[in-house]
């Protein structure tokens, strides 16, 4: 296990360096200078050059990257936003919890429901329950998230007044209020992955339930729930791998959800930063997302080793 973690840590560090360096090159390749946005439409070449000099944009990309990396590793400083002039670290720290909460709640929601629904669907194969779960899964995969979000806003927030149409009400305004405000966005975020994971759980369970060791377990007279647990533990290995990836992907989906629900989270901040050519903020946000993605996959790998200890030997 330790060898696995050590290898993963090394791989993660390398991934972070690769992602951030690629991002640096890509953002600097964009022809529009942020100076034109910050200084206005009538920026002269002198003003533009001065701005780029002040912000180090006139130096070679490699030097800029090395400086950025040094500031990050030595001082924990992600740099200052071109647009607001403020350090991006605190801005990321203030908007990350909203996105993280949406994603975590949506992830837990989709995992619990999909495992439950997928298992039931497999156990009650070709029954009304199975057909129902499969239909919902097909719909969940097929319906575009932004469209579903708009329909739910109109139906449940505007016409019915059951939920606020957007924004996230802070915890300080009340626990119930807060939970109500995240129901629609988390549902819209979760539904796609719930569909994917439930189908995967179903097919994996069907495969495992047909294995010899399950038949043997039954033949030994083990209670049904015990057999089910054995089967589920093995069936979950591919589901956990996909779930780990899904957790990372959800931060990408959150961009759409945060835009539609007008939630001031980190994904929306990334979109605005891209539009405003605020490279420093883009770098900071992408680095945080990459880190989370890598961490989620690491957790998935560790969980798989726990579910199936033979995988530790394979990974080593």
Residues making contact with other proteins (CB under 8 A): 31-32, 36-44, 47, 81, 83-85, 91, 95, 150, 153-154, 157-158, 161-162, 164-167, 169-170, 173-174, 176-177, 180-181, 259-262, 264, 268-269, 272, 275-277
Nearest in space to 169 (alpha carbons), one of 189, 158, 183: 183
Of 46 and 128, which CB lies nearer to other proteins in the complex structure? 46
Q: How far is the CB of 32 from other proteins (least distance, A)?
A: 6
Q: How far is the CB of 19 from other proteins (least distance, A)?
A: 23
Of 31 and 60, which CB lies nearer to other proteins in the complex structure? 31
Of 132 and 164, which CB lies nearer to other proteins in the complex structure? 164
Cβ neighbours for 133, distance < 8 A, ≥ 6 positions apart? 117, 118, 120, 121, 198, 202
Do residues 170 and 178 lie in contact, with contact meaning Cβ atoms separated by under 8 Å?
yes
Q: How far is the CB of 281 from other proteins (least distance, A)?
A: 9
| Bridge partner list, 87 | 80
**H or E segment to which residue 146 belongs:** helix 145-152
Q: How far is the CB of 75 from other proteins (least distance, A)?
A: 22
Do residues 122 and 201 lie in contact, with contact meaning Cβ atoms separated by under 8 Å?
yes
CA distance 30 to 28: 5
Full DSSP string of 42-105: T--HHHHHHHHHHTTTTS-HHHHHHHHHHIIIII----B-TTT-SBHHHHHHHHHHHHHHHHHH
Of 41 and 142, which CB lies nearer to other proteins in the complex structure? 41
Of 107 and 251, which CB lies nearer to other proteins in the complex structure? 251
Q: How far is the CB of 178 from other proteins (least distance, A)?
A: 8
**For the chain, what is the radius of gyration of the CA atoms?**
24
Q: How far is the CB of 34 from other proteins (least distance, A)?
A: 10
Of 11 and 162, which CB lies nearer to other proteins in the complex structure? 162
């Amino acid at each position: 296990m330790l060898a696995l973690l050590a290898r993963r840590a090394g791989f993660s560090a390398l991934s972070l360096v690769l992602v951030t360096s690629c991002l640096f090159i890509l953002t600097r390749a964009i022809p529009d200078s942020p100076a034109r946005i910050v200084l206005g439409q009538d920026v002269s070449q002198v003003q533009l050059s001065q701005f780029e000099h002040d912000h180090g944009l006139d130096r070679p990309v490699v030097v800029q990257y090395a400086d950025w990396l040094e500031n990050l590793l030595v001082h924990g400083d992600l740099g200052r936003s071109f647009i607001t002039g403020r350090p991006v670290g605190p801005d990321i720290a203030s908007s990350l919890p909203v996105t993280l909460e949406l994603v975590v709640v949506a992830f837990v929601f989709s995992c619990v429901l999909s495992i439950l629904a997928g298992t039931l669907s497999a156990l009650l194969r070709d029954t009304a329950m199975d057909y129902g779960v499969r239909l919902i899964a097909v719909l969940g995969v097929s319906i575009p998230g932004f469209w579903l979000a708009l329909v739910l806003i109109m139906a449940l927030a505007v016409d019915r007044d059951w939920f606020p149409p957007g924004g996230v009400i802070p915890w300080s305004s009340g626990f119930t209020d807060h939970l109500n405000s995240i129901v629609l966005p988390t549902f819209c975020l979760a539904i796609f992955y719930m569909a994917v994971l439930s189908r995967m759980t179903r097919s994996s369970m069907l495969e495992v339930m047909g294995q010899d060791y399950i038949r043997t377990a039954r033949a030994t007279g083990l209670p049904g729930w015990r057999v089910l647990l054995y089967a589920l533990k093995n069936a979950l290995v591919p589901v956990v791998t996909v779930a780990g990836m899904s957790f990372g992907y959800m931060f990408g989906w959150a961009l759409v959800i945060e835009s539609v629900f007008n939630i001031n989270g980190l994904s929306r901040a990334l979109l605005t930063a891209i539009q405003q050519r605020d490279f420093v903020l883009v770098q900071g946000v992408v680095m945080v997302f990459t880190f989370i993605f890598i961490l989620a996959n690491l957790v998935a790998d560790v969980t798989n080793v726990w579910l199936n200890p033979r995988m530790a030997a394979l990974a080593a």
